[in-house]
Structure 1
Amino acid sequence: MAKTVLTYGTFDLFHVGHVRLLRRLRQMGDRLIVGLSSEEFNSIKGKKTVIPYEFRKEILESCRYIDKVFPEHNWDQKRSDIARERADIFAMGDDWAGKFDNLSDICEVVYLPRTSDVSTTELKKYMNAVNQEKLGAIRNMVDVLQAELKAVG
């Protein structure tokens, strides 16, 4: 009998950690379905995405491991999503370990280890640091130019 795996996420700044997680999830079953966090839901969670929902959805739909993508609008929809999709396995990264054990009465709940040394949060921190460094360099150039203009004028 075919097994359906269901997972959720934001999948912002799609990276190799996402690919590896999705591949492992797909290996657990015959069908992989992803609930993709909407902009509104991310706002409730205190997250700000770089990539808009429609683009994140298009990226996920192009991934060969995924069979279906639908929007995740709130915390409470998981139970009805599992029933609607007839999911056998609900799987998340282990940073969520224990948070969804209450769903184990309707399907198997699994938490998978995250890919080490890569995360969207770390990518955003790195991008911010690079931007701050560039801003600092521009400010220094402006200061030098202003000093030279004062000296000339």
Structure 2
Amino acid sequence: MVMKTVITYGTFDMFHVGHLNLLRRLSEMGDRLIVAVSTDEFNKGKGKKTLIPYDQRSQIVESIKYVDMVVPEESWEQKLTDVKKYNVDVFAIGEDWKGKFDFLEDLCEVVYLPRTKNISTTDLKKSLKRFLSIPHEDLIQAFEVLELLRRDLE
């Protein structure tokens, strides 16, 4: 029996259901799923800031039942090397990268998958930033009002 290996790449910061959906779909495309998680240094070079350090992000991804192996992503050029090194049959990534990795088609199938609607790490970070910009006094007052309402309902 020939094993089919799938590989994907990502930062996986603030792990959410969109990430989980992606990993599930990828695992259904083959027998073995390899996930390359972008290192903090690589993200910094891309101008990307993460909230969760690489070691923790890789542990989270590694603990997902759909994932067979996690490797660090340290450079753009690594994709070509990894496809050869791990005998990859399918390179899959989010559709926002459409066309960017077609050069790998000589070595493996390249698939661009749709994102989960209405969820992204970027949106989560924007929401968190808006939430954190609310004055603390307003948040405390809102929680006090909620507590009073809860007591009234009891």
Q: For this structure pair, what is the TM-score category when the shorter chain's length is used for normalisation?
A: 0.7 to 0.9
Counterpart of 1:95, as a letter, is D
Q: Which residue of 2 aligns with 1:12?
A: 13
Q: 1:87-102, aligned counterparts within 5 Å?
A: 87-102=88-103
Q: CA RMSD in A?
A: 1.2
Q: 1:37-76, aligned counterparts within 5 Å?
A: 37-76=38-77
Q: Which residue of 2 aligns with 1:36?
A: 37
**Alpha-carbon distance in structure 1 between the residues aligned to 2:106 and 2:93:** 17
Partner SS, residue 110 of structure 2: strand
Shift of 1:135: 5.0
TM (normalized to structure 2)? 0.87
Q: Which residue of 2 aligns with 1:126?
A: 127
**Alpha-carbon distance in structure 2 between the residues aligned to 1:121 and 1:135:** 24
Shift of 1:45: 1.1
Partner SS, residue 25 of structure 1: helix
Partner SS, residue 46 of structure 1: coil
Higher alpha-carbon Rg: 1
Q: Which residue of 1 aligns with 2:110?
A: 109
- 1:42-78 per-position Cα deviation (integer Å, ceiling 9, x unaligned): 0111110000000001101100000000100110011
Identity %, equivalent residues: 57
Q: Which runs of 5+ in 2 are unaligned?
A: 140-154
Shift of 1:36: 0.6
TM (normalized to structure 1)? 0.88
**Alpha-carbon distance in structure 2 between the residues aligned to 1:24 and 1:64:** 12
Partner SS, residue 133 of structure 1: coil
